[in-house]
Copies of this chain bind each other. A is one copy, B any other.
Amino acid sequence: MKTRDKIILASLDLFNEQGERNVTTNHIAAHLNISPGNLYYHFRNKTDIVYEIFLQYELLVDHYLQLPKGRSLLLDDLIFYLESVFDGLWSYRFFHRDLEFLLDSDERLRRDYREFTMRCLGVVNRILGSLRDSHILIDMGDEHRSAMALNVWLIVTNWMAFLKTAHAGEKNTAIRKEMLKQGIYQVLCLTLPYLTESYVDTVVKISQKYKPAPVFSATA
Contacts and interface: CB of A to CB of B under 8 A. Distances in A.
Contacts of A129: 220
A26 to B, nearest CB: 18
Interface residues of A, number: 60
Copies of this protein, total: 2
A172 interface: no
Nearest to A120: B218
B168 A103 contact: yes
Interface string A63-83: 000000000000000000000
B107 A169 contact: yes
A68 to B, nearest CB: 15
A154 B162 contact: yes
A169 to B, nearest CB: 4
A179 B103 CA distance: 19
Nearest to A169: B110
A51 interface: no
A159 interface: yes
A21 B103 CA distance: 13
A44 to B, nearest CB: 21
